[in-house]
């Protein structure tokens, strides 16, 4: 099978299956990756793809009460992590990749490395989480010291920093803030290390917690980021500041939150005046 079969498959997703544009694109990229990296076959330019028209839906946002109700469903480290996502506006992947050195307790800010578009940015650090986070980081440090005594304690470093700083991987500052309970084996560098908690763990916990609250909104972990931005906007924070906190390249992306904020508070429906 080659170009024609790939086009038929992708077009079938749009015409017969009626999938979303993101689903169709994901399927196309997966097939192209298969041919390029595994089968090692050049399929040429696919010029007869019938692309699904992208529909711009408004993001789902939780109210403040719903957010508080949801956070109360969690316990321990997961509760701290979920609270941090909502309190900072970080994406799930950004929160999991957070390193100890990127938390500035004194300045009350967090540096997010390699965000979307491989850009760094700084976001706020909630006052209510400072003591909890200090206690958590101390526990992570104790675990790291135990790992070092056991002959482990080294973590993976981004880019080529290991070659430049051979011993940096064992420094506490480079450790993940939310390390996994078990070790992972790095086949390239041939050593065991603690990676961060897997995304699926957080997603599963979130789904269970949402079900317990009986909140009927189709929320996900990313909804916390949408809620962060919307709640800031509702309290009077200017749109440019929110754009910077979220790391949006275009203000147009941030402006979507002006359409879903509670801006009609106090506005009465005409029906209320006649019945």
Catalytic residue among 3, 79, 192, 222: 222
Report which of 163, 160, 123 is spatially closest to residue 244, judged by C-alpha positions: 123
Measured CA to CA, the distance from residue 89 to residue 87 in angstroms comes to: 6
pLDDT for 261 = 79
Which residues of the chain are in CATH 1.10.443.10 domains?
59-265
Beta strands in the chain (DSSP E): 103-104, 109-112, 121-124, 184-186, 191-193
Catalytic residue among 86, 144, 176, 257: 257
Catalytic residue among 121, 194, 231, 248: 248
Global confidence as pTM: 0.80
Report which of 93, 133, 134 is spatially closest to residue 115, judged by C-alpha positions: 93
Catalytic residue among 116, 162, 170, 192: 116
Q: Does the annotation count 192 as an active-site position?
A: no
Name the 3-class secondary structure at 16.
coil
Tokens 């803030």 map to which residue?
177
Write 141-150 long-range contacts (CB < 8 A, 24+): 141/100, 141/172, 143/179, 143/194, 144/172, 144/175, 147/194
Q: Does the annotation count 257 as an active-site position?
A: yes
Q: Does the annotation count 222 as an active-site position?
A: yes
Q: Does the annotation count 225 as an active-site position?
A: yes
pLDDT for 55 = 62
Catalytic residue among 97, 99, 121, 225: 225
3-state DSSP helix/strand/coil percent for the chain, to nearest 5?
A: 50, 5, 40
* CATH superfamily placement of domain 59-265: Intergrase catalytic core (1.10.443.10)
pLDDT tens-digit profile, the chain (275 residues): 888 888 889 888 888 887 888 888 899 999 989 988 898 888 877 777 877 776 667 889 999 999 999 999 999 999 999 999 999 999 999 999 999 999 999 999 999 998 777 789 999 999 999 999 999 999 999 999 999 999 999 998 887 787 788 888 999 999 999 999 999 998 887 889 999 999 999 999 999 999 999 899 999 999 999 999 999 999 999 999 999 999 998 999 899 888 887 777 777 888 788 87
């Amino acid at each position: 099978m080659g170009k024609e079969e790939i086009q038929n498959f992708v077009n079938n997703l749009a015409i017969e299956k009626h999938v979303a544009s993101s689903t169709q694109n994901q399927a196309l990229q997966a097939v192209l990756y298969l041919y390029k990296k595994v089968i090692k076959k050049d399929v040429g330019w696919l010029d007869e793809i019938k692309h699904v028209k992208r529909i711009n839906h408004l993001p789902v946002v939780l109210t403040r009460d719903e957010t508080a109700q949801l956070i109360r469903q969690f316990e321990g480290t997961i509760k701290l992590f979920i609270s941090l996502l909502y309190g900072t506006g970080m994406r799930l992947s950004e929160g999991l990749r957070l390193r100890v050195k990127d938390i500035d307790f004194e300045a009350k800010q967090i540096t997010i490395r390699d965000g979307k578009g491989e850009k760094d940015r700084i976001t706020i650090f909630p006052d209510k989480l400072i003591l909890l986070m200090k206690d958590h980081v101390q526990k992570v440090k104790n675990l790291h010291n135990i790992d070092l005594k056991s002959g482990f304690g080294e973590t993976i470093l981004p880019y080529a920093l290991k070659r430049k700083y051979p011993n940096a991987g064992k420094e506490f500052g480079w450790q993940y803030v939310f390390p996994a309970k078990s070790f992972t084996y790095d086949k390239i560098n041939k050593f065991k290390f603690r990676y961060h908690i897997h995304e699926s763990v957080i997603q599963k916990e979130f789904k269970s917690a949402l079900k317990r609250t009986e909140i009927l909104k189709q929320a996900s972990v990313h909804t916390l980021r949408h809620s962060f931005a919307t709640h800031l906007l509702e309290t009077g924070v200017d749109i440019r500041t929110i754009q910077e906190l979220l790391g949006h390249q275009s203000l147009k992306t941030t402006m979507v939150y002006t359409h879903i904020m509670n801006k009609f508070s106090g506005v009465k429906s005409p029906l209320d005046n006649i019945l």
